[in-house]
Structure 1
Amino acid sequence: MNERRKIFGNLLIGLLVIGLGGCAAVYCARAYGVNPWYFAGKQMIWLAIGTLLFLLIAHTPFAKLKKAAFPAMIIFLIVLILTAFFGTKVNNMSGWIQIPFTKIRIQPSELAKPVYLLSLCLLVTQEKWSEWKRFAAAFCLTAAFCILILIQPDFGTATVYAAALPFLLFCAGFRTRYILSVLFGWIPPTVLFVLLHPYALRRINAFLSPADDQLGAAWHINQFRITMANGGWFGADGNNVTWANAYLPYSHSDSVFATLIEASGLIGGTLVLLGFCVMIILFRKAALDTREKDARLVIFCAGLMLITQAFLHIGVNVTIIPPTGLPLPFFSYGGSNLAGVMLLLGTACSAYRSGSSESQIDSKTVKEDKEDNDRSEEPCQDRPQCG
């Protein structure tokens, strides 16, 4: 118990440190003419809310989370349907819901990630179902979420959702043909999405030939490169992130990694990368220490969703993949993104506490049985009454 509390305490401290680092990144990404604390202050409020959500979910028994998964999944699917057709538009994407009588907007696709992941893991671990039935159920669930998110349209978030399925099938021991069918099955909707949305095709062309339309579709790509080059090895002089603040679009959200490199240089960007790599190792270790199959899959895939989103964001910012709007976990401005990350981590933590507590109970039982056996084998002369 003490060891689990120590691990949990260290995790909470680590999350708060990373979260405050994200607030600092948002502060550095201030735009000219805007109070630098405008976005950073809001991010700190959302960090506090996210921390409370993390504590709430992490201390909820995993069995209760599993019971609530499917009802919550249905609710989120209904909300995503309403969002896709009646949501508030931001940057030509109807992915937000405006809370009545407030200025607060929430993004359901970010908050739904832990519910989607938990439901998916429960479907693929249904022992009474055949492999084909489990695959079909998981595929239909993923398709439902991805289609509703693509309608918004939000290709980046849909990719994060879709990436969880083949990895989950692999970890759950499904045959190769099911995994390949998912990987190749993602190609037709991707092509269809590009054909139906001309801006996506323009982004791909700009990525392939950034010199052809420098003031149009390729503007963002070129500003990424200039911003990072301005950072050098150790960051701009006096933390003066001039280029990110003046020319880089969405420097506090979808372009925050490039802003970080201008502020802290290549060294700072490398440390962020190493931090996410360490996160991969920690998620893997936690999953392997967990005995329950569904809990182990939740931990594995929670890590995968976070890391997939992080490396897609970084890949866009360093211009090795075409631009798509994705926030960087912990660092990008956005309350829904930060709350969704904390909920996802809380779910993984609840799964870990469930699996590890069971293993500790088993080890304690084994130890007590061993002590009882040792007492029964004591020499006869050591007993006060003996034959």
Structure 2
Amino acid sequence: MNAITFSPARPDPLLSGLAITLIAVGLVAISSASIEYGDHYFDNPWHHTIRHSIYLVLAVAAAGVAYMVPTTFWQRTSPWWLLLGFALLILVLLPGIGRNVNGSQRWLPIGPLTVQPSEVAKFAVVLYLAGFLVRHQATVRSHWEGLAKPVGILAMVALLLLLEPDFGATVITTGTVFGMLFLAGARLIYVLGLVGVAVGALVVMVVSAPYRLQRLTAYTDPWADPYGSGFQLIQSLIAYGRGEWWGVGLGNSIQKLFYLPEAHTDFVFSIWAEETGLVGSTLVILVYALLVGRILHIGYTSIRLDDAFAAYVCYGIGLIFAGQAFVNMGVSSGLLPTKGLTLPLISYGGSSLIISCVMLAIVLRIEHNNRLSGGQSGKKRRAGSRRAAGRARA
């Protein structure tokens, strides 16, 4: 019987250390970026710092529970998590239930807290797809029909996300699914064909929606409308420029003084770049690269130990972290068109922080299982070698 059991073994120190580093950077960056905003709108300069700290406590508690849960539990319940994701995505669209902010209906209020269904949906899709790939691995690798069901589910999730609308979450979820299919052994020609169809659909949606087309136009030349559609990107680029090599110092940002909108959420990395410069920004990017690399390596180890579900979960989680970090930093630096996506473990936002910590806890549990499996395999190999040596001497 697979029960929830506490493992006294120490979690992977490298992955834990990288995650704690990013969480600490996030707490410092949010505190700095939101002081003036909180003082002006809530008469408390530490308003967002306090709320983020509360979310952090909840995230650590949720991660602790997730670490104690065996990976077989996630595999058995993966279809139910997908149903929960669908239910939340539908619920947030219902009038009077979902909260509308700046024209987007992406949040469900639960007392003093809010839940962002797209965060739960991304996690649920990874769990379900990992289980599906284990059950239908041969078909996925040999025939295009093996891709029909996961792509159909992805299409339904993407449709619900676009109705909010949440274009950024749609891109990340789509990229994660295609990446998992490729890493599971699906033929490259099939994956590239699906990518082509998805890109074509995204282009049609961008062209058909005036506000998305306006964002794309502002991204290519933000100075064409410096006080309108290009204002946010220009202010973000100014923050990058002011940072130079070493930054202006923590707490000394000028752009957070109501020049840069959403300074403590989607564009918190811009404030970090202004205050810590190229050196501080590069260090954060390096930490993300090491974090994603470690997650993928744990997944690779799971494959070698014949735990395909754990491997695919790691691949999906690694792709989510890599995709969101790349898109968020790309948007704030002008590399990509503007879209609302949090920077994992750093941006202000309870749902993103909690789900990110839960996903990392699952990866830590998988790494712990790998160590146990590897140790048992090593003992069996050594025992076999001793028996063989004894027979040879006899």
Normalised to the residue count of structure 1, the TM-score between the two structures is: 0.91
Partner of 1:119: 128
> For residues 347 and 112 of structure 1, do their structure 2 counterparts lie closer, same or farther at Cα, with a shift above 3 Å needed?
farther
Q: How many angstroms apart in 2 are the aligned matches of 1:43 and 1:288?
A: 34
Partner of 1:317: 332
Partner of 2:103: 92
Q: Deviations over 1:317-357 (max 9, x none)?
A: 10011111111111100000101111221232333333443
Deviation at 1:169, TM superposition (A): 1.6
Q: In the alignment, residue 241 of structure 1 is paired with which amino acid? A: S
Q: In the alignment, residue 9 of structure 2 is paired with which amino acid? A: R
Q: Deviations over 1:179-224 (max 9, x none)?
A: 0122111123313322443111111111122222111101011111
> For residues 55 and 238 of structure 1, do their structure 2 counterparts lie closer, same or farther at Cα, with a shift above 3 Å needed?
closer
Deviation at 1:12, TM superposition (A): 3.4
Q: How many angstroms apart in 2 are the aligned matches of 1:18 and 1:151?
A: 32
Q: How many angstroms apart in 2 are the aligned matches of 1:67 and 1:228?
A: 46
Deviation at 1:158, TM superposition (A): 0.9
Partner of 1:53: 62
Q: Which secondary structure does the structure 1 equivalent of 2:105 belong to?
A: strand
Q: How many angstroms apart in 2 are the aligned matches of 1:255 and 1:128?
A: 40
Q: Deviations over 1:225-268 (max 9, x none)?
A: 11111222211156311222320010001101101011111111
Partner of 1:24: 28
Match among 244, 248, 259 for residue 260 of structure 2: 248
Q: Which secondary structure does the structure 2 equivalent of 1:96 belong to?
A: strand
Q: Which secondary structure does the structure 1 equivalent of 2:93 belong to?
A: helix
Partner of 2:4: none
Provide the aligned length of Structure 1 versus Structure 2.
375
> For residues 143 and 348 of structure 1, do their structure 2 counterparts lie closer, same or farther at Cα, with a shift above 3 Å needed?
farther
Greater alpha carbon shift after TM alignment, 186-195 vs 112-121: 186-195
Unaligned runs of 5+ in 2: 1-6
Q: How many angstroms apart in 2 are the aligned matches of 1:360 and 1:143?
A: 42
Normalised to the residue count of structure 2, the TM-score between the two structures is: 0.89
Q: In the alignment, residue 245 of structure 2 is paired with which amino acid? A: W
Partner of 1:285: 297
Q: In the alignment, residue 15 of structure 2 is paired with which amino acid? A: L
Partner of 1:201: 213
Q: How many angstroms apart in 2 are the aligned matches of 1:345 and 1:264?
A: 27
Q: How many angstroms apart in 2 are the aligned matches of 1:57 and 1:123?
A: 21
Q: How many angstroms apart in 1 are the aligned matches of 2:135 and 2:340?
A: 35
Q: Deviations over 1:56-91 (max 9, x none)?
A: 112211111101110121122022112133311112
Q: Which secondary structure does the structure 2 equivalent of 1:70 belong to?
A: helix
Check conservation: 1:286, 1:352, Cα contact below 8 A: yes
Check conservation: 2:93, 2:105, Cα contact below 8 A: yes
Partner of 1:365: 380
Q: In the alignment, residue 123 of structure 1 is paired with which amino acid? A: F
Deviation at 1:377, TM superposition (A): 5.4
> For residues 111 and 245 of structure 1, do their structure 2 counterparts lie closer, same or farther at Cα, with a shift above 3 Å needed?
farther
Check conservation: 2:11, 2:368, Cα contact below 8 A: no
Q: In the alignment, residue 173 of structure 1 is paired with which amino acid? A: G
Partner of 2:342: 327
* 1:82 maps to 2:91: yes
What is the alpha-carbon root mean square deviation over aligned residues?
Answer: 2.1
Q: Deviations over 1:246-297 (max 9, x none)?
A: 2001000110110101111111111111111112321232122212122112
Check conservation: 2:18, 2:287, Cα contact below 8 A: no
